[in-house]
Amino acid sequence: MIQMRGLLGILAVILLLSPAYAAHYSASIFAPAVVTVDNGTLTQISVNITSGNGQVRVEGPKSVGSSTLESAQTAAAYAFSYLGMNQAQYNVIYFINATSTSVSGPSAGLAFTLLAVSALSGRTLDPSMTVTGTINSTGGVGLIGGVYDKGSAAHDRGLRFMLVPAAQNGSFEQLLYYITQQNNNITLSQVSNLSDALPYAFGQTAPVPQTFSYAADYYLASLPASNVSCTICNTTLPYFIGVTSSTANFTLQEVQAIPPQYSAAKESLLAQLDNDTAVAGKGYFYASADLAFHESSVAFALLNSQVINYTGVDAAVTGIQSTCTGLTPPPLTDQNYEFVFGGEMRQQLGMVNANISLQLLNTAETEDDQIEALYTLAPSYSWCEAASRMYAAAAQIGGTPVGYASGTPDEVEDMLATIPYVNQSIYSEAAKAAYQNGEYGAALYALDYYNTSSNLPIITNPAELRAKTLADIANATYGVWPSQTAGQAQFYLYEAGFENQTAANATLQGAYFSAALADSLARTNEQFTSTYTYNTTPITPPPGVQTQINSLSSSIQQLYQLLLLLLIVVIVIVIIQLVHLTHSIQAHKELKGQPPKKQRRRNARGA
């Protein structure tokens, strides 16, 4: 009997030690949530794992959304799989300390997974950490919203770092992470999957802060000079180069004004701007300006993101709208039409884009959304500044006033009517706005961009891409804008030759797009110049120009009068000198006893 009891005791101990019968594991973490705009909060989430039959529950909040429950189930399943344990023998209960609110959304997926792994493995999570991100069935971490608000809440709690989903290089999310980290003084470390997250979560690896890098050398040492050709660029190319130079200077001013907390970004952008300028030194002027243009958008976002709030972003939108609206193009001529068309198109793009930014702002649910509205607004500033520079160049170029052919408005209207509603883009919207404003050339340019970006045939074979790109480059010679856009395609072709296969394929696509756009712009230029009509209406110089002309004319007239007076004085002096010289010679001869000239002649006749 005693022996039997001993055996039962041993059996009981074995059963108690068996996870299927006597498991009880727990862990907790502070995870961020967003309640309203500018109101992030940290909520304690804990997990209890007991023996059971595979159930997963979420308790605590007033209500739990289906997406949150599904996220918890996915997290638990992957945690058990990752550790090689049988989930069917356990019950998992997550408790969210938010009894007075409703919880929904999948952004706690990574937190749920880390809690389960921590509890099941008996390892303690770093208490100075918080985490946000979804989880999928293979352990991948996905993007979420409200990062800025969550980072702010984590800082207020005194936490040291936050794990966030990995974002694509150069994406808005990466810029958002950098702004969040620098403004809230909390390290953000990107993770792609659970394996990336575990070393940080268990304190094995120090968190890696979000960095900012915007540098590329473009293989400048090996990059050959541009050799694109243009049939009518002799008079306008210097003005195009001037616009390129002013774009770089404009970007430089923005970068230099970036506040101190973004010093790393400032250094990176300055280095990049040097590379952009060097591209122009090789003759790829449009490529250089385009690179600087994109850089200015990043600088604008950093420059204006020190304090994120509705009032600040709304004021930025209003200011840019006012700037764009106030621009007036000079009269259209047979020489400046490319700069007028290009400026008008960019002015309309700036206005359309500013309206999109305002819509984003008015529907913002988090500070992430407000930052995105600001980031979206950035190109509007650059576009309108570019339009202003193009108008200035067009005014300097001058030429004979021209007008559109009578059928041009109907042609543009027909082209706009073919755009499907589902395929609307910023370029189609700009084309519509330009058409309504009577800026038909700008509408045609915008449609060139739209058709190239929306309807370009797909080519994946590298050899075919190169061949088609080279053919379009050869055709894009009619005008400075087409030829310089073709130069950008040429630049990308050279770049692709120095890159690995993956990067080269993407760069070739960029070359293909630029060449097709250049070809389309050239055909628009040819069509316009073959149909425009000469306008007898005299050109009225823009404000300030006539005053400069009058001032210059007055200065020239005064200079002319002064020169005439000086000339008269010089002539008088010369005459006086000649008379004096003649008298001196005659007096000298008389002193030697020689008769005057007339007397000698009389003596000779007498002989």
Query: How is the chain split into domains, by residue range?
Result: 21-201, 457-531, 559-602
Summarised one tens digit per residue, pLDDT across range 232-270 is 887 899 999 999 999 999 999 999 999 999 999 999 999
Bridge partners of 534, per DSSP, are 402
**Band (8; pLDDT cuts 50, 70, 90):** very low
In this predicted structure, the answer to whether residue 551 has a pLDDT above a threshold of 90 is no
Architecture label for domain 21-201: 2-Layer Sandwich (3.30)
Give φ, ψ of 232 to 5 degrees: -135, 45
End-to-end Cα separation, the chain, in angstroms: 186
Which range, of 56-65, 211-220, 552-561, averages the lowest pLDDT? 552-561
Looking at residue 25, its pLDDT comes to 83
What is the pLDDT averaged over residues 300-324?
90
d(CA 154, CA 253): 34
Which strand ranges, in their side-by-side order, compose the sheet holding 56-59?
24-36, 39-51, 90-96, 56-59
Q: 210 Cβ partners below 8 Å, 6+ apart?
A: 174, 177, 178, 181, 187, 188, 189, 190
Which range, of 310-314, 329-333, 583-587, 597-601, averages the lowest pLDDT? 597-601
What own/partner pairs with CB < 8 Å and gap ≥ 24 does 389-392 have?
A: 389/242, 389/243, 389/246, 389/247, 389/250, 389/343, 390/243, 390/339, 390/340, 390/342, 390/343, 390/346, 391/327, 391/328, 391/329, 391/330, 391/339, 391/340, 391/343
In this predicted structure, the answer to whether residue 589 has a pLDDT above a threshold of 80 is no
The tokens for 271 are 């280095």
What is the pLDDT averaged over residues 359-382?
93
Percent of the chain scoring above 70 in pLDDT: 83
Other CB atoms within 10 A of residue 295 CB: 25
d(CA 418, CA 37): 41
Looking at residue 600, its pLDDT comes to 35
Looking at residue 390, its pLDDT comes to 97
Strand, helix or coil at 142? strand
What is the pLDDT averaged over residues 192-210?
95
What is the pLDDT averaged over residues 302-312?
86
d(CA 108, CA 33): 9
Check residues 381 and 554 and name the one with the higher pLDDT: 381
Bridge partners of 80, per DSSP, are none
**Band (41; pLDDT cuts 50, 70, 90):** confident
Which DSSP letter does residue 541 get?
A: P
Bridge partners of 33, per DSSP, are 41
What is the pLDDT averaged over residues 397-415?
95
d(CA 481, CA 488): 11
Looking at residue 493, its pLDDT comes to 96
Q: Which of 517, 532, 478, 526 minimizes the C-alpha distance to 233?
A: 478
**Band (581; pLDDT cuts 50, 70, 90):** low
Residue 228 near residue 487 (C-beta atoms within 8 A): yes
Q: Is the C-alpha dihedral spanning 79, 85, 88, 93 positive or negative?
A: negative
Summarised one tens digit per residue, pLDDT across range 408-423 is 999 999 999 999 988 8
Q: Mean pLDDT score of the chain, rounded to an integer?
A: 86
What is the pLDDT averaged over residues 466-484?
96
In this predicted structure, the answer to whether residue 14 has a pLDDT above a threshold of 60 is no
What is the pLDDT averaged over residues 138-163?
93
Looking at residue 1, its pLDDT comes to 42
Q: Which of 11, 141, 139, 142 minimizes the C-alpha distance to 80?
A: 139
- Concatenated DSSP letters of 359-418: HHHHT--SHHHHHHHHHHHHHHHHHHHHHHHHHHHHHHH---BEE--TTHHHHHHHHHHT
Looking at residue 38, its pLDDT comes to 52
Measured between alpha carbons, how far is residue 149 from residues 166, 250, 367, 451 in Å?
18, 32, 6, 40
In this predicted structure, the answer to whether residue 452 has a pLDDT above a threshold of 90 is yes
The tokens for 101 are 């609110």
Looking at residue 565, its pLDDT comes to 55
Which range, of 240-254, 311-325, 456-470, 593-607, averages the lowest pLDDT? 593-607
Which range, of 301-315, 435-449, 593-607, averages the lowest pLDDT? 593-607
Which pTM value belongs to this model? Answer: 0.79
Check residues 515 and 100 and name the one with the higher pLDDT: 515
Looking at residue 570, its pLDDT comes to 54
Looking at residue 495, its pLDDT comes to 94
What is the pLDDT averaged over residues 461-465?
94
d(CA 49, CA 55): 10
Residue 518 near residue 483 (C-beta atoms within 8 A): yes
Which range, of 266-280, 315-329, 443-457, 539-553, averages the lowest pLDDT? 539-553
Looking at residue 96, its pLDDT comes to 92
The residue behind tokens 């290089």 is: 169
Q: Which of 149, 180, 153, 181 minimizes the C-alpha distance to 30?
A: 153
The tokens for 189 are 């470390």
Check residues 587 and 497 and name the one with the higher pLDDT: 497
Q: Which of 220, 230, 203 minimizes the C-alpha distance to 281?
A: 220
Looking at residue 87, its pLDDT comes to 96
In this predicted structure, the answer to whether residue 277 has a pLDDT above a threshold of 80 is yes
In this predicted structure, the answer to whether residue 557 has a pLDDT above a threshold of 70 is no
Which range, of 35-44, 163-172, 573-582, averages the lowest pLDDT? 573-582
Summarised one tens digit per residue, pLDDT across range 86-130 is 999 999 999 998 877 888 889 999 999 999 999 999 999 999 999
Percent of the chain scoring above 90 in pLDDT: 70
Residue 117 near residue 194 (C-beta atoms within 8 A): yes
CA 279 to chain centre: 18
Looking at residue 34, its pLDDT comes to 52
- Concatenated DSSP letters of 253-288: HHHHT--GGGHHHHHHHHHHHHHHHHHHHTT-HHHH
Q: Which of 255, 248, 230, 254 minimizes the C-alpha distance to 287?
A: 248
Work out the angle at residue 183's Cα, subtended by the Cα atoms of residues 182 and 184, and round it to the nearest 5 degrees: 95
In this predicted structure, the answer to whether residue 315 has a pLDDT above a threshold of 70 is yes
Q: 123 Cβ partners below 8 Å, 6+ apart?
A: 117, 202
Looking at residue 62, its pLDDT comes to 86
In this predicted structure, the answer to whether residue 576 has a pLDDT above a threshold of 80 is no
Residue 349 near residue 376 (C-beta atoms within 8 A): no
**Band (39; pLDDT cuts 50, 70, 90):** low
